[in-house]
Every structure is written in C-alpha cells, then in structure tokens.
Amino acid sequence: MASRRSTVVDVASEPRSLPSRYLTPDDLVAMFDLPSVETVYQWRRKRTGPRGFRVGRHLRYDPADVQAWVESLREGAAA
C-alpha cells in the first residue's frame, strides 16, 4: 500500500518556501528531522512550538505560522 505521507520542502534549502497547504504533524517531523511525532505533540502541550489548530480531530499548521515560529527562534538565538 502506498504511503500517505506528503512531500515537504526542506526549510534549509534555497529558496526558502513552504508548501501552500496546511501542514500535518508528520510534515513537521520531516521538515525538522524530529525523532517522532510525539515531539510535535509535546511542543503543543507545552506551548513552545508553532501555533496549530484542529480540523475535526486532525491537527494542522499554517505554513506562515511555522515560518513565524522559526523566525522567532532565530531572533531569540541572535540575542
């Protein structure tokens, strides 16, 4: 059976563009090379990751919110 995991643009590559669709927790795992989807859920519980929202029972992330979160991390690291 074919995998339902979608292809995601590598955020470290140039040009820095994100997909125009809403992202899933699995997309964030692939984008940031995380150990598991549980990391994304922990970020949500601790309110430390990008802002997400529910569509029914499914968790989704707006690419613009993910980009804003990454920029906030960069600004924090530069300080």
Q: Would 13 be classed as within a structural domain?
A: no
Domain that holds residue 71: 25-78
Q: Which residues contact 21 (CB under 8 A, 6 or more apart)?
A: 63
Which pTM was predicted?
A: 0.73
Domain count for the chain: 1
Domain membership flag for residue 37: yes
pLDDT at 6: 45
Cα–Cα–Cα angle for 20, 24, 29, rounded to 5 degrees? 110
**pLDDT tens digits, one per residue of 24-77:** 999 999 999 999 999 999 999 999 999 999 999 999 999 999 999 999 999 988
Residue 51 falls within a domain, yes or no?
yes
In 1-79, where does DSSP find H-type helix? 25-32, 37-46, 63-78
Q: Give domain status of residue 5, yes or no.
A: no
57 found inside a domain: yes
Contact 26, 37 (CB under 8 A): yes
Instruction: Say what the pLDDT of residue 16 is.
Output: 58
Residue 58's beta-bridge partner residues? 55
Structure tokens at 7: 């292809």
